[in-house]
Chains A and B, each alone.
Chain A
C-alpha cells in the first residue's frame, strides 16, 4: 500500500483497508436525514397557533371588508329592495347608478374630485420633499424650531385652523372655487415629518459624493435623492392622495352649496324630510371609492415596500 493520508471528508478511507475501517470515517450519507422527523410535538403545537392566528386575522379582515361589501351590495339591489338584508343582492340591478348619474353630474364631479385630490397630493408631496430635504441636508438657525412648527401644524386640530382659513379665503375671493379647496392644503405637516424620517436615514456620503461630482444641491435632489426615495415617495403620495380624496368637511365648507366634488354629491341624496335615498347614495359612494381601489391595486407593491423597507440598503 502507499502512504495512508488522513481520512478526509471528500474522500472517505477505502473500506477494504483494515486501518481505514478502524478510523471509521463518518458516513455523511444517511446521518442528517434521521433528524428530519424528530421534532413532532413542537410542530403540532405551532400548527394550532398558526390556525388560531389565521382565524383571528380572517375574522378581522371580514369585519373590515363587510361594510364595503354591504355598500356595493346595496347599490346593486333594485330600488325597492334597498332595505333587504339578504347578503346576496339578487336580482342585480344598476338602477341606482342610473338614478345617481341622472340626478347629479357624476362624471364632472369625478373629474373635479380627481383634480382636487391629485393637485393637493402632488403639492403636498413637493413641499414635503423640499422641506424634508432642507431639514435633512443642512444645518441652519432655528432649524429645530421650524421643524417643531411643521410638526405642530400637523398636531393642531383642523377645527382650530378652519375659521381663520375660511376668513382668509373669503378675503382672497376663493370661496366656492376648487383652488380654495386646494391651496390651503398644499403643505402637509405629516408629509414633512415622514419624509424627513426617510431622509435622515439617507446616506450623507451620497449627498457629499454628488457634491464632489459637481452637482448643485438642486440637481442632487432630483438626480440622487428622488430616484432613491421612490418607494417612500410613492407610499407617501398614495397616503396623501387617499387623504385628499376622502376629504369631506373642508370642501363642504369652501364649496358651500355647490356640489362640486363627489363627496358632496353624496349629500344631495340625503334628505331630512323624505329620508335618505339609499340606492343612489350607495351607488355614488361606491363610485367615489373605485379610483382609490384602482390606484391601490396598481401601486400596491410600492405602498407595501414603502412602508416595510425603511431605508435604502
Chain B
C-alpha cells in the first residue's frame, strides 16, 4: 500500500549531478519504469527512494509521509538488486527468510512463509542449495523471493533481468508483470531496456543526465515524445531525427531540408483541421527545428512513379538493408542525413536504388533545435512554440 512521491530530488557526487531536480509521483499499484541510458542516474534515484543514498536536496515521501531521514529498514520497501545480492553463506531457504528473521518472527511462521513464497516462485526443490549452486535464473527468483517474503508496500528493482539470457528474460518479464497484477503493489523498476519499459510499465519515466525528460504511459512516451532525446531513445531503430526548417506554404507548415519536404500535422487535429486559418499568420515563418519520423511510419514509393506525388516528401538512396525476418530495415541517405525505414518484408528495397519516402502529416514530430523539447502548434501564436516542460506525472 504505498504511494511514492519524489519531490525535486537531487544527488550530487562532487561536481557530478547524478540526479538533478527530479519530481515524480508513483500512485499506489503503479508499475513505474525508470528508463534511460547508462549513467543517467536511474540507480541513484532508486537508491534514494530505498533510503540507501541520502539525497543532497529534495524530499522522498511514502504514502504522504516524509521519509527522507528515515532509515531504509523503516520504509517498508523491498529491493531486488542487479547482482541479486544473495547471501553466499546461506541456503536458499535462509536467504528468503532472512528479512523475517530480522523481524524476530517465530520460526514456524517463518518457514511457513518461506514455503509459500518458494511455491509461488517454483523454488521448492532448491531450498537447501547455496546461491553458488544455482543458475542465473534461479538466483534471480531467490532474490525476488527475498523481496516477496516481507510483503512490502512497494518493490524496487534495479535491472533485475539484465543478467539473464534473452529467452529467460522474456519469460521472467511476463512473470514479474503477473506478479504485479496479483499483488497489486507499487513497483519501481529500473532498466535501460526499452522493451521491458514498454511491455511492463503502467508509466515510464525517461531520464537523461540525471534530469527527467518525460513521464507518461508507454503509449504516450512512444507516440508523443516530449523531447528529441526521448524520441531518439525509444524504438528500434529509434525515431529518425533530421535538422530541418519550418516554413509556411500553401496554407500549411512544411519541414524543409535537402531532399526533405514534409507537410506537418502539428498538435491537435481539431485546431489544425482548417489549413486556411493556420497558414495566414505564418507566411514568413522560417524556424529551425528538428523533424522526427518513426521508421515504421515511412513508406516507400519508387522514385520512377513519383511524378504525381502530391505530398512529395523524402528523397534519397538506399544504402543498406537489414533483414529481421518478418520485417526489414532500409537505411537510406536523405540529403546529409541517415534515415531508417522499417517495413514488412518484402518491402521492395534495392541497395543503391533512389527512393521516395512518404509520411502522413499526423506521424511527424517537431522538436526545438536548441532545447530538444517537442514543438506544438498554438493557433494564437505566429510560430510553433515549445511544449510546456514535462509536467509532473499524476
Interface residues of A (CB under 8 A from B): 203, 205-206, 208-215, 219, 224, 227-228, 312-313
User: 1/0 per position for B174-214, CB-CB distance to A under 8 A?
Assistant: 00000000000000000000000000000000000000000
Q: Is the CB of B73 within 8 A of A205?
A: no
Point out the residue from A209, A219, A227 that lies within 8 Å of B85, measured CB to CB. Answer: A209
Task: Show 12 residue pairs from A and B whose CB-CB distance is below 8 angstroms, ordered by the A residue.
Answer: A203-B85, A205-B81, A208-B47, A209-B85, A210-B98, A212-B73, A212-B77, A212-B99, A213-B99, A214-B99, A228-B88, A312-B88
The number of inter-chain residue pairs (CB within 8 angstroms) is 56
**A205 B102 Cβ-Cβ under 8 A:** no
Residue with the highest number of chain A CB atoms closer than 10 Å, among B73, B85, B102 = B85
Q: A215 and B73 in contact (CB under 8 A), knowing A208-B52, A209-B79? A: yes
Is B222 located at the chain interface by the 8 A CB criterion?
A: no
Residue of A nearest to B89 (CB): A227
Q: Does B22 contact A (CB under 8 A)?
A: no
CB distance from A83 to the nearest CB of B (A): 56
- A interface footprint on B62-83 (CB within 8 Å = 1, 0 otherwise): 0000000001110001110111
Residues of A close to B51: CB separation below 8 A: 211
- Cross-chain contact of A208 among B71, B81, B88, B146 (Cβ < 8 A): B81
A214 and B102 CA atoms in complex are apart in Å by 6
C-beta contact mask, B230-274 vs A, less than 8 Å → 1, else 0?
A: 000000000000000000000000000000000000000000000
Q: B interface vs A, CB < 8 Å?
A: 47, 50-52, 71-73, 77-79, 81-83, 85, 87-89, 98-99, 102-103, 132, 146, 150
How many Å from the CB of B52 to the closest CB on chain A? 5
Residues of B within 8 A of A212 (CB): 50, 52, 72-73, 77-79, 99
User: Bound complex: CA of A215 vs CA of B77, how far in Å?
Assistant: 14
Q: Are A214 and B73 in contact (CB under 8 A)?
A: yes
In addition to A205-B81, A205-B83, A224-B87, 4 A-B residue pairs with Cβ atoms within 8 Å of each other are: A208-B72, A209-B146, A213-B102, A214-B103
A313 touching B102, Cβ below 8 Å: no
Task: For the complex formed, measure the closest distance between the CB of A8 and the CB atoms of chain B, giving whole angstroms.
Answer: 24
For A208, what are the chain B residues with a Cβ–Cβ distance below 8 Å?
Answer: 47, 52, 72, 79, 81, 85
Choose among A210, A212, A219 the residue with the greatest number of B CB atoms under 10 Å from its CB. Answer: A212
Residue of B nearest to A224 (CB): B87
In the complex, what distance in Å separates the CA atom of A224 from the CA atom of B88?
9
B52: which A residues are within 8 A, CB to CB? Answer: 208, 211-212
- Name the residue in A203, A209, A211 with the highest tally of chain B Cβ atoms < 10 Å from its Cβ: A209
Q: Please, which residues of chain B bring their CB within 8 A of the CB of A313?
A: 88, 132
Residue in contact with A213 in the complex, picked from B47, B82, B89, B146, CB distance below 8 Å: B146
- Bound complex: CA A210 to CA B81 (Å): 12
